[in-house]
Amino acid sequence: MDKFNNDLSVPQAANLCGVNRNTIGTWIRSGKLRANRIGKNYSISPQELLFFLKTNGQRIPDELRKQQTNQLYFRSIQNCWQYYSADAELRGCRNCIVFTNDLDICFIGKECSKFKCEKSCLTCDYYQEVYYPRIKFIHQINRPAAIYKDLYLWAGNIKWAELSGIKEEDLIGTGIENIFVPNSLAPAISNFKKRELKDPMAPKNDYVFFKHPSKHHIKTEISVYSLNEPTDAWLLIAEITC
């Protein structure tokens, strides 16, 4: 199934789904099936095709279904300027650090002065369609919980927001140096790197102090769990300690 490591052309997608090319074209033009335009042709992510077929009640080819290991269907992660390609110029995408630095995850650039997007992630269609479905489970956890990847938070629930003194919407894209006290940050980062490298000696928990603008530093024990989705991300659950 190596061919599913790469995007599909319209003829390949049509052959896979047992429909004609015009049908694939109609799905794309309707906006229901997202595809990237390359010259006069379209490129379709297998994950995006799988998401479209599932959410629109279409038959899922067995060959494509076998690629889905967890039975959860998400949109493929694409660059934000590709998602907003129709009005990218109006939004100023080409002058944004996300575009000029080719950042895969747009919200990690929000603290830079060259970040041009003025929308909150919580009101952004791109974030709500592409990222939120992957992380919304944390809002069902009744302890402080957050999704972490590459030194940035992807999201935090209300209890994590209360613990850090940062608004829930502002947690998205926040670097962990803004969450934890410096003295406890260094060993935590070291342990995160060990876990990423699958070091068997990496501890399962970290002890860190949360910053808070109106309280003393809050000592917590952080339990860390690897996630299949988002890929290479981690679930952090905090417990206040005495």
Q: Residues 33-70: pLDDT tens digits?
A: 988 888 888 999 888 898 888 888 888 888 777 766 55
Average pLDDT over residues 183-202: 91
Name the pTM for this structure.
Answer: 0.78
What pLDDT, on a 0 to 100 scale, did the predictor assign at position 85? 78
pLDDT of residue 27: 92
| Side-by-side strand order, sheet with 145-149 | 152-156, 145-149, 234-240, 218-226, 205-210
pLDDT of residue 174: 95
Tokens read off for 61: 């080819």
The band of 91, judged by pLDDT with boundaries at 50, 70 and 90, is confident
pLDDT at 22: 92
Beta-strand relationship, 145-149 and 152-156: antiparallel
CB neighbours of 198 closer than 8 A, spacing ≥ 6?
none
pLDDT band at 26 (very low <50, low <70, confident <90, very high): very high
**In the structure, what pLDDT confidence band is assigned to residue 156 with cuts at 50, 70 and 90?**
very high
* Low-confidence winner among 68-77, 134-143, 165-174, 204-213 (lowest mean pLDDT): 68-77
Average pLDDT, the chain: 88
Q: What is the mean pLDDT of residues 73-92?
A: 80
Q: What is the mean pLDDT of residues 208-225?
A: 92
Q: Which domains does the chain have, with CATH numbers?
A: 2-65 (1.10.10), 80-134 (no CATH), 142-240 (3.30.450.20)
**What pLDDT, on the 0 to 100 scale, is given for residue 36?**
85
pLDDT digits (tens, 9 = 90+) for 103-155: 989 999 998 989 988 889 999 989 998 999 999 999 999 999 999 999 999 99
* Residues 13 and 49: beta-carbon distance below 8 Å: yes
